[in-house]
Structure 1
Amino acid sequence: MGAAAVADEFDFTPGAQVPLTGTAGQTAATYALASAAYRDNEIAEILKANNDWHKSTVKPGRKWATIFRPNLGEAFSLAVRDRMVGAGRGPLIQSFGMEPQVVVEHCLAATNIRRERDNWLSAVMVLCGVLFLPGLLLWLLVFQIRTTVAKRDDKRAGALGTTLLVAVGALAVIFLLKMPFDGFWAWYARACVVLPVVGWFWAKQICERAAKDLRDRWSGLLSGGGIGAKIPEAVPGSPGETKAEQLRKELARLSAEQRSNLVFYAGPKGILGMGTRWGAWQLAEELVPAEAGKEIHPFRSWDVIRAIHDQLRMLERTPLNTGGFTAPSIKHWIVSPIGEGAGAVSRPDSTDVDAYQYKNHAIQEICNKQHFGSGNRHYLGVQWTLWDGQLVITMLVTVTVLHQTLRIEVTGHALGPVHGLFTTKPAAKTKEVQKSVRFWETRKVQLPLVDTDEVVRLAARAPLTWYPPLLNWLGGSMGLPEPFGLRHAWADQPWRHRFMADDALRAATPVLRVVHNAAIKVLRENGVDTEKFGSRAGFLSGAVQDASPRKADLYDA
C-alpha cells in the first residue's frame, strides 16, 4: 500500500489542540524533545547532544551575513518539520518510548508563534526601514560589524563592538544637529537616522512578547505538559484547503509509520531506534529423537516462537507480592539489514505490507524459511518503556534451524535517555560584573530577555522568513543525522545512569529462562531429546547471572 493510501486510511477528529497527556509512561522524552522547538539558545548547542553513532550538524551561512543566523529553536523547528511532514520526505525510523507526532505538532506551533511575530516585525521593517532604506542599511551594517567583532576570541572584542555602536550613535546625533543641507532631503535624511531607531523600540516590544510566550511553553513542557500545541492549519475547513489536507495526511502517515513492525539493523549501530546490542546468549544443539527408532514430529520455527510468545506474556506475574515487571509490549519484528554508513532506508510496498506493517502470513513465512542467506529475518521482541519514556529495553528472540541444529538466540538492546541538553529549563539571562566600590568582587546582574542584537537579528530575518531557502543560505541551518528518527538521534547510553543500567541488566535473566523453558517444552512435545538442550540452558542460566554490557556488535576478527 502506498503512502497516499496509508494516509487516507487514518483521520483526525476536528480540533487542533494537542492533548496534554501523551501515551502513558512516555511523556518525559516526548516533552523534552518538543521543548527544543521553543528554545532560544545558540544553534551550536545542538552539537553537544551528538552521540557516538548519530551526529547533527550545523550548516553555516555566509560569513558576511551572520546577522541572519537562526537560533536553536528556529533551526530545530524547521528541520524537524520539513524532515517529518515535508513534501516528498523519505522514510523515518520509529521513535520508541515517545510520541513523535506530539514533537512535530509543537514544532508547527512554535513556527506559528514565530510567524505571527515576524509578520509584525515585517510591518515595522516596511514602515520604519524600507521607506527609509539608506538609514536602515547603515544601521544594519553597523550591527553586522559589531556582531562580527564581538564573536572574536579577544576579551576586548565585546567592549570594542559597544564602543563602535556608541560612536556611530554620536555621529548620528551630530549629523542631525549639523545637517549639511536643507529642504525635503534634509528632513528625509533625519528620518533615515531616527525612524530605524524608533522601529527598533517598537520591534523590541514585539520580540519580548513572543520570547516570553516561547519560554513559558518551554518551561511548561519540562514541568509536565504545559500548554498544548495549537495547529489549526492541520484541520481542513473546506475541501479546497489542499495545504491543510496534505498536512493532515502527513501527520497520519507519521503515526502509521511509527507503528510499523519493520526495523533496520545497521551493523555496529545496532537496530536503529532500539539502540546497540549490548548482550547475546545462544542455545544451539542437535535435534535428536527422544526414543531410538522413532522420528521427530514435524514442527516449524513458528511453533517454537508462538510458544515463547505465550510465555512471555506471563512475565509480569510473580509468586511473591513484591513488585516485578511492568506489562511489556510483545511484538513480532521483521529486521532488514542495511549498511553501517547508510544514509537512508526504504520501506517495502507490496501485497505483504499493509499500512507499513507486515501481515501475519508474511511474518510466519519469514520466520519459517529465511534462516540463511539474503533477505529479512524474524525476531520476537519484548520491550519495556521505563523512566517515563527515558529508557527503552528490548529483548529480541530468534529461532533458526540449519540441518539438524536448532538455535535459539536472545539479544539485549537498550536505548538510553535523551541528552541532558533537552531537559534543561530556561534560566534568566545574567552576567557577572565588578562591584563599583569593592572592585575585587563581582555580582550578577540580570540582562533583558531580548537584547539589542537579538532585536536587530529578528527584525532583519523577519521579511525573509517567507522564503526559507534564501534565509538558510544567508544565515545557515541545522542538518539532521540520517537515517533519521527523533528518539535515537539524540539518545545517551543508559550505562551512565546506575538504576537504568540495573534495569536493563536485570531484565535479561528472567527473559532468557522463560524463552528456554518454553522452547524446551515444545521440543519435548514433538519427540526431541531435550537433555543436551537442558544442560546448555542451565549453563546459560548461570552465565547470565553476571550479565554486563558490552559492544556485542563489534566483532574482534
Structure 2
Amino acid sequence: MTDGFDFSPGAQVPLSGAAGQTAATGALASAAYRDSPVAKLLEANSEWTVSEVKAPRFSLFEPNLGEAFARAVQVRTLGGARDQMIQSFGIEPQTVVAHCLAANRIRRKRDARLTALMVVFGLLFLPGVLLWLGAFQLRRTLAGAQDKRLGALGTVLMVVLAGLALIAMVKLPLTGFLAIYLRAMLVAPVIGWWLAKRISERTAKELREAWSGLLSGGGIGAKVPEAVPSAPGGAAEQLRKGLQKLAAEDASNVVFYAGGKGILGMGTRWGSWQLAEDLVPAEAGRDINPFRSWDVIKAIHDQLRLLERGTLHTGGFPTPSVRHWVVSPIGEGAKSVSRGGTTAEEGYQIKAVELQRICDQQQFGAGDRHYLGVQFVLWDGQLVITMLTTVTYLHNTLRIEVTGHALGPVHPLFTTKPSAPSKTVSKTIKFWETKSIPLPLVDAKEVVRLAARAPFTWYPPLLDYLGGKLSLPEPFGLRHAWADKPWRHRFMADDALRAATPVLRVVHEAAIRVLKENGVDTERFGNRALVLSGQVQDPTPKKADEYNA
C-alpha cells in the first residue's frame, strides 16, 4: 500500500498537488498555525457536527486555536486507540495532518527555549514568578468576567502590584544576601519575560507566514523531519503506518448514512428522483430475458464515465469520479462508526464480488445497500457534488433512484488570512483625523501564557487537565466537520443544481437501453423518465433526508 509521501532524508511532506483540491486542504491546514482564541472554532459548527471546548481550570494555561486544533487532530488521526475516520472528499487529510505535525514541531522548539528560561529565571526565583503569575491569573479571571468594570479592576490591581514591588525594592528593611535575593526575585521574572517575548515573537512570525502561505496558494510544504526513518520500528515508522492507515480509510468504498445528517462526508440529500414501473414483456407471449440489478448498474457505470464528453465544444463537466459505494446505516446520534460489520473486506475496501452480491440481493430489510456514485470536486475542493444511483427489483417493479448530495465550502473561519495587530487613535494635532499604530504580534499577556504553559507541554495530559482542550466532533472527518452549506454561494448552488439533469438523463438512457435489450416494454419507463426530466429542473433544493419536501 502506498500513501503518496516521500520520506527520504531531507524530504518534505508536500501540500496536495492534485488539481482542484488545494484551497480546501490549505484552509483546513492553516488552522494548525493560527493564534486566535480557541472558542472561535465553535463558530464553525455545522448541521453535521459540533465541536466542544473543555473549559480550563486555570485560564493562564488555556490553549489558542492553533495549539488546540493541531494537538486534537494529531491525536485523533494518528493515535493508536483511535476510532475509524469518515472520508474527507475534496481534500487530502494526510496533508492537513502533516501540517499539524509541523506546527506542533515549531511550537515544541519555542517551548524548549521558554522552558529553559523558566528554569533560569523562574525556578531560581520561584516566589517572584508565582507572585507575577498569580497577578496575571487574577487579571485574566477578572477581565474574562461579563462585568467590564471587573476587567478594569484587574488592570488596576496589576499596576498596584508593580508599584508595591518598586517601593519594596527601594525601601526594603532587610540587608545582605536576603535583601539582594528578594530584589532579584521581583526583577528576574521581568528580564525573563523580555527574553521570552523575543522568542515568542519570532515563533509567531514563523507560524503566521505558514498560515498566510497556505491561504495564498503558495503550496508551502509541511516540514516534518521526524518522518524520516532512522531505525526500523522507530517513531518515523509508526508515523508512516499511521498515515498509511489514514490514506486507506480515506479511500474506503464504505460510507455511513446517519439519518437526518445524510451520508457522512457527502452531505444531506437535497434532491431525489425515482423511476419505478412494472416489467412487462415487449411482445405478448414472450418472456423477458433474465437480468439482474447489477447488469443495469454496470451499463449506467459505463455511461457515467463518458459524462465529460459532449457534442459542443463549449466546456462542460470535468472528468468525474465514478465509484461503487456500500452505504451502511448508523444512528443519527452515533458517536463512532465501524467498517467491520461487512463481509469480504480487504483493508477498508469491499471486494467487487461482494459489491455485486449486495447490489443484487440486499434490497429490502436489514443490511447495507449498494449505490453507484458520480462525484465532482469543484472550486478547488470547496464544493463536492455527489449523485448516487441505486437499482432495486421487488416483485415485478424495477426502481431506479437518483439522489443528489452536496457538501459546501469549509467555514469562512478557515479562509481568513492573518492581519497585523494594530489600533486606531486620534492624531495629536489634527485630532479630528485618525491613524493606525502597529502593535506587537505577541502582547504581554500572551508571553506570560506561553511561558507558563511551556514546562507542561512535555506532558500534554496534565496541560489538558489545567488548560482544557478541544473535543473534535464524532464521527470525525476533516472535510465534513466544518463544511458549510453550498446554497449560500450562488455559483456553487448553480453547479450543484445543473449537474442533476444530465446525470439523471444518462442514468435513465442507460437503464432503458438494458431493458430494451432484454425484451422489456419501455414505453411507460420512457414516459416516466420524461416527467422526471422536467421535475429535475426545479431550481429549489429540498431536505430529502427529512422527508419534508
TM normalised by structure 2 equals: 0.97
Instruction: Say which of 149, 159, 162 aligns to 2:155.
Output: 162
Deviation of residue 155 (structure 1)?
3.8
Alignment of 1:373-522 (within 5 A): 373-436=365-428, 443-522=435-514
Alignment of 1:354-369 (within 5 A): 354-369=346-361
Is contact 1:23-1:98 (8 Å) kept? no
- Indicate whether 1:173 and 2:129 are aligned: no
Is contact 2:5-2:13 (8 Å) kept? no
Instruction: Say which of 536, 546, 549 aligns to 1:554.
Output: 546
Alignment of 1:211-290 (within 5 A): 211-239=204-232, 241=234, 243-290=235-282
1:332 to 1:229, Cα distance in 2 relative to 1, 3 A: same
Q: Secondary structure at the match of 1:398?
A: strand
- Indicate whether 1:18 and 2:13 are aligned: yes
Alpha-carbon distance between aligned partners in 2 of 1:223 and 1:545, rounded to the nearest angstrom = 37
- Indicate whether 1:124 and 2:117 are aligned: yes
Counterpart code for 2:442 = V
Is contact 1:430-1:444 (8 Å) kept? yes
Alpha-carbon distance between aligned partners in 2 of 1:225 and 1:124, rounded to the nearest angstrom = 35
Alpha-carbon distance between aligned partners in 2 of 1:387 and 1:153, rounded to the nearest angstrom = 42
- 1:142 is matched with 135
Counterpart code for 1:319 = T
Counterpart code for 1:475 = G
Counterpart code for 1:278 = W
- 2:102 is matched with 109
- Indicate whether 1:321 and 2:316 are aligned: no
- Indicate whether 1:40 and 2:35 are aligned: yes
Alpha-carbon distance between aligned partners in 1 of 2:423 and 2:195, rounded to the nearest angstrom = 26
Alpha-carbon distance between aligned partners in 1 of 2:127 and 2:403, rounded to the nearest angstrom = 67
Alpha-carbon distance between aligned partners in 2 of 1:314 and 1:240, rounded to the nearest angstrom = 46
Q: Secondary structure at the match of 1:311?
A: helix
Any unmatched runs of 5+ in structure 1? Answer: 1-5
Counterpart code for 1:421 = L
Instruction: Say which of 18, 27, 40 aligns to 2:22.
Output: 27
Alpha-carbon distance between aligned partners in 2 of 1:26 and 1:234, rounded to the nearest angstrom = 24
- 1:200 is matched with 193
Deviation of residue 436 (structure 1)?
4.7
Counterpart code for 1:164 = L
**Cα displacement string for residues 192-214 of structure 1 (whole angstroms, at most 9, x for unaligned residues):** 11111110011011100000000
What is the percent sequence identity of the aligned residues?
67
Is contact 1:68-1:474 (8 Å) kept? yes
**Cα displacement string for residues 221-255 of structure 1 (whole angstroms, at most 9, x for unaligned residues):** 000035311112223211252x2221110011001
Counterpart code for 1:169 = A
**Cα displacement string for residues 390-419 of structure 1 (whole angstroms, at most 9, x for unaligned residues):** 000000000000010000000000000000
- Indicate whether 1:529 and 2:524 are aligned: no
- 2:55 is matched with 60
Is contact 1:523-1:530 (8 Å) kept? yes
Is contact 1:261-1:357 (8 Å) kept? yes
Q: Secondary structure at the match of 1:345?
A: coil
Alpha-carbon distance between aligned partners in 1 of 2:47 and 2:4, rounded to the nearest angstrom = 36
Alpha-carbon distance between aligned partners in 1 of 2:201 and 2:7, rounded to the nearest angstrom = 35
1:11 to 1:205, Cα distance in 2 relative to 1, 3 A: closer
- Indicate whether 1:86 and 2:53 are aligned: no
Deviation of residue 20 (structure 1)?
3.9
Residues 182-191 or 442-451, more deviating = 442-451
Instruction: Say which of 94, 98, 117 aligns to 2:91.
Output: 98
- 2:531 is matched with 539
**Cα displacement string for residues 336-356 of structure 1 (whole angstroms, at most 9, x for unaligned residues):** 000111111001277611120
Q: Secondary structure at the match of 1:289?
A: coil
1:89 to 1:142, Cα distance in 2 relative to 1, 3 A: same
Deviation of residue 12 (structure 1)?
5.0
Deviation of residue 420 (structure 1)?
0.3
Is contact 2:15-2:95 (8 Å) kept? no
Is contact 1:301-1:367 (8 Å) kept? yes
- Indicate whether 1:347 and 2:339 are aligned: yes
Alpha-carbon distance between aligned partners in 2 of 1:135 and 1:454, rounded to the nearest angstrom = 19
Alpha-carbon distance between aligned partners in 2 of 1:189 and 1:214, rounded to the nearest angstrom = 38
Q: Secondary structure at the match of 1:297?
A: coil
Residues 368-377 or 155-164, more deviating = 155-164
Alpha-carbon distance between aligned partners in 1 of 2:153 and 2:87, rounded to the nearest angstrom = 50
**Cα displacement string for residues 457-483 of structure 1 (whole angstroms, at most 9, x for unaligned residues):** 000000001111111111111111110
Deviation of residue 156 (structure 1)?
4.2
Counterpart code for 1:173 = L
Q: Secondary structure at the match of 1:103?
A: helix
Alpha-carbon distance between aligned partners in 2 of 1:346 and 1:361, rounded to the nearest angstrom = 21
1:13 to 1:450, Cα distance in 2 relative to 1, 3 A: closer
Counterpart code for 2:22 = T
Deviation of residue 434 (structure 1)?
4.7
1:393 to 1:427, Cα distance in 2 relative to 1, 3 A: same
Alpha-carbon distance between aligned partners in 1 of 2:5 and 2:412, rounded to the nearest angstrom = 35
Alpha-carbon distance between aligned partners in 1 of 2:307 and 2:5, rounded to the nearest angstrom = 35
Deviation of residue 440 (structure 1)?
6.7
**Cα displacement string for residues 124-173 of structure 1 (whole angstroms, at most 9, x for unaligned residues):** 00000011110110010111111122223344445433332222122111
Q: Secondary structure at the match of 1:60?
A: coil
**Cα displacement string for residues 244-294 of structure 1 (whole angstroms, at most 9, x for unaligned residues):** 221110011001111000000001101000011000000000011111111
Alpha-carbon distance between aligned partners in 1 of 2:457 and 2:393, rounded to the nearest angstrom = 59
Is contact 2:48-2:480 (8 Å) kept? no
Residues 168-177 or 200-209, more deviating = 168-177
Counterpart code for 1:26 = Q
Alpha-carbon distance between aligned partners in 1 of 2:342 and 2:486, rounded to the nearest angstrom = 37
Alpha-carbon distance between aligned partners in 1 of 2:510 and 2:16, rounded to the nearest angstrom = 38
- 1:184 is matched with 177
Alpha-carbon distance between aligned partners in 2 of 1:327 and 1:24, rounded to the nearest angstrom = 12
- 2:291 is matched with 299
Alpha-carbon distance between aligned partners in 1 of 2:192 and 2:257, rounded to the nearest angstrom = 55
**Cα displacement string for residues 305-328 of structure 1 (whole angstroms, at most 9, x for unaligned residues):** 000011111111111111111110
Residues 478-487 or 172-181, more deviating = 172-181
- 1:3 is matched with none
**Cα displacement string for residues 105-124 of structure 1 (whole angstroms, at most 9, x for unaligned residues):** 00000000000000000000
Alpha-carbon distance between aligned partners in 2 of 1:404 and 1:44, rounded to the nearest angstrom = 56
Is contact 1:235-1:248 (8 Å) kept? no
Alpha-carbon distance between aligned partners in 2 of 1:551 and 1:455, rounded to the nearest angstrom = 49
Alpha-carbon distance between aligned partners in 2 of 1:151 and 1:440, rounded to the nearest angstrom = 33
